[in-house]
Each structure stands twice: as C-alpha cells, then as structure tokens.
Amino acid sequence: MAKLVPQNHPALHAIADEVPLDEITSKKIQKVLADMRTALDTYNINGFNGVAIAAPQIGVSLRIFLVHNTNNEEKDVTRIPDLVAINPRIVKLSKRTHIVGEGCLSVGEDYGAVRRSTHATLRAYDEHGKEYERGASGLLAQIFQHEVDHLDGTLFIDKAEDVWHKDDVHARRLKEARDE
C-alpha cells in the first residue's frame, strides 16, 4: 500500500511527467490510482481528512490527480464529485479571485490563505482514457488549481499569503465556541 511521502520528498518539488495516452488503462496506472485512493481514504489526522490527492503525494511523479470526498455523511451539502484527472491542464481561469483557506495532505500540520481564481476549467483524461473538459466554481475550482500546482512541483505554502498551524485553528474554534 502506498503512503504519503514527507513534505521534503523530491516528487513534491518537481514537474511531474505526462502519462503516455496508451498507458492510461494499463495495470501500472490503475494501480497508481488505487494506491492514491487508499492513501486518501486512510488519511485522518486529528479529525482532518482530504478530498483530493495528486500522484506526487505518494511519491509517483506522474500527472495524475483524483478527487474523492471521504466525508460519508449523507447530509454533506458540500459534496463534490469523484473524478480522475490524467494529464490535466487548466484551460481557463476566471479573472476574479479570492483568498481561501487551504490545507494539504503533504503539509499535514499547516493551513494557509491562498489567492485562487473563483472559476476554473480543466481538460484531462479519465481512468478509461476518455478526454473530458469540466468547469468548476467554489471548492472544486480551488481543488483543480491546488492539484495542478502539485503536478507542477508547487505546494500551497509556496503561494500562501499567510500560514498557520492546525493547532492554532483548533484553539481559535474552541475560543469562538466558548465566546458564543
């Protein structure tokens, strides 16, 4: 079973290689996808879980990411679709941006404030080798940008306007709850 690599792993700081189109449905690529799903499904640090993972996060320098909502609550109103993106390219970003909070499986103890476009359009191949294009807003647009950054060797902390430790987040939430 593949595990998340540490933050200083070379795969997290290099431009990932494209997957040859004739290899997308190969056992090798399907195993990488399965390993990524397992790593994402088993990630839970202090109650934090993930919604997406890029292949470099398990030490595989290939241009692959997947989105998978690990929150199984039926009432989850922020449900995002499961999708696989192989050789993804962001083909359009909105000019409108906003500052959003981000965390990362590879930077387990920190959060940051990152400027992201509010809308993004992604072109990629799915796990069956079929090309698709998908527009997104909100959280999914943020995920597209975050994961493509991973494939380009950039972590959110490289772009963040502010970074803080997760323990600070817990402390702030507890204080806010007490003050209400």
Give the other-Cβ count within 10 Å of 9's Cβ: 16
- Taking a C-beta distance cutoff of 8 angstroms, is the pair 11, 5 a contact? yes
Q: Is 176 in the active site?
A: no
Point out the catalytic residue in the list 147, 161, 176, 180: 147
Name the CA radius of gyration of the chain, rounded: 16
CA angle 36-161-113, nearest 5°?
50
- The β-bridge relationship of strands 83-93 and 119-125 is antiparallel
C-alpha distances out from residue 133 to 62, 121, 123, Å: 20, 7, 4
Assign 160 to helix, strand or coil.
Answer: coil
Q: Which residues are designated catalytic?
A: 147
